[in-house]
């Protein structure tokens, strides 16, 4: 027996392909990565951009139970930004403990780490928007 064509309901065009997160999850995952940029900009004048991990933390805490892809990417963004913050603090302490001599090493490393942070954050946001699970390099996985 055949089914008349008018009785077959085609899939909705908004249904994602199998294995690809829905558009809303992809968007929130992208926001988790980009919120680090916003946090760094907003807190930059107050103390060197220490707020880069606040945005990913807030998004991850709000959406982790309802959106699995955001849970994964939010943790990833949070871990990466905590790692970068630790690196900046260690370089600052090196500078203070050596009475400024450590700035010879710290300043170039701050610049290199800052550029890498910006590039990796943008790449992660683009990948998350595409529905691809992104893993930052050189990241301490503190939040599991």
Quote the number of domains for the chain.
1
Task: Let me know if residue 105 belongs to a domain.
Answer: yes
Q: Are 42 and 82 in contact (CB under 8 A)?
A: no
What does the buried/exposed string (b/e) look like for 107-144 if buried means 16 or more CB atoms within 10 Å of the residue's CB? eeebeebeeebeebbeebbebbbebeebebeebeeeee
Q: What is residue 102's predicted lDDT score, i.e. its pLDDT?
A: 87
Q: What is residue 54's predicted lDDT score, i.e. its pLDDT?
A: 86
Q: What is residue 62's predicted lDDT score, i.e. its pLDDT?
A: 94
Q: What is residue 51's predicted lDDT score, i.e. its pLDDT?
A: 74
Q: Choose among 52, 42, 102: nearest CA to 77.
A: 52
Domain extent for 86: 22-130
Please list the pLDDT of the chain residue by residue as tens digits (144 residues).
Answer: 566 667 666 655 555 566 788 999 999 999 999 999 888 888 765 566 667 888 899 999 999 999 999 999 999 999 999 999 899 889 999 999 998 898 999 999 989 998 999 999 999 999 999 999 999 998 999 888
Task: Let me know if residue 10 belongs to a domain.
Answer: no
Task: Let me know if residue 2 belongs to a domain.
Answer: no
Q: What is residue 22's predicted lDDT score, i.e. its pLDDT?
A: 92
Given the structure tokens 């500078």, which residue do they identify?
95
Q: What is residue 17's predicted lDDT score, i.e. its pLDDT?
A: 64
Q: What is the pTM of this model?
A: 0.81
Q: What is residue 137's predicted lDDT score, i.e. its pLDDT?
A: 93
Task: Let me know if residue 6 belongs to a domain.
Answer: no
Q: What is residue 48's predicted lDDT score, i.e. its pLDDT?
A: 62
Q: What is residue 8's predicted lDDT score, i.e. its pLDDT?
A: 66
Task: Let me know if residue 139 belongs to a domain.
Answer: no
- Tokens encoding 23: 């558009």
Q: What is the 3-state secondary structure (H, E, C) of 38-84?
A: HHHHHHHHHHCCHHHHHHHHHHHHHHCCCCHHHHHHHHHHHHHHHHH
Q: Choose among 53, 27, 29, 28: nearest CA to 40.
A: 53
Q: Choose among 84, 26, 28, 76: nearest CA to 52.
A: 84
Q: What is residue 16's predicted lDDT score, i.e. its pLDDT?
A: 55
Task: Let me know if residue 4 belongs to a domain.
Answer: no
Task: Let me know if residue 9 belongs to a domain.
Answer: no
Q: What is residue 43's predicted lDDT score, i.e. its pLDDT?
A: 76
Task: Let me know if residue 39 belongs to a domain.
Answer: yes
């Amino acid at each position: 027996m055949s089914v008349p064509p008018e009785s077959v309901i085609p899939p909705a065009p908004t249904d994602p392909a199998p294995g690809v997160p829905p558009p809303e999850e992809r968007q929130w995952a992208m926001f988790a990565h980009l919120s680090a940029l916003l946090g760094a900009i907003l807190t930059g004048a107050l103390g060197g951009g220490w707020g880069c991990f606040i945005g990913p933390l807030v998004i991850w805490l709000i959406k982790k139970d309802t959106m699995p892809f955001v849970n994964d990417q939010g943790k990833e963004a949070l871990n990466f930004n905590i790692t970068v913050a630790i690196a900046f603090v260690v370089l600052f302490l090196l500078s203070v403990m050596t009475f400024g001599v450590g700035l010879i090493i710290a300043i170039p490393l701050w610049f290199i780490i800052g550029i890498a942070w910006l590039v990796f954050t943008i790449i992660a946001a683009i990948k998350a928007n595409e529905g691809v699970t992104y893993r930052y390099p050189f990241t301490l996985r503190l939040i599991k």
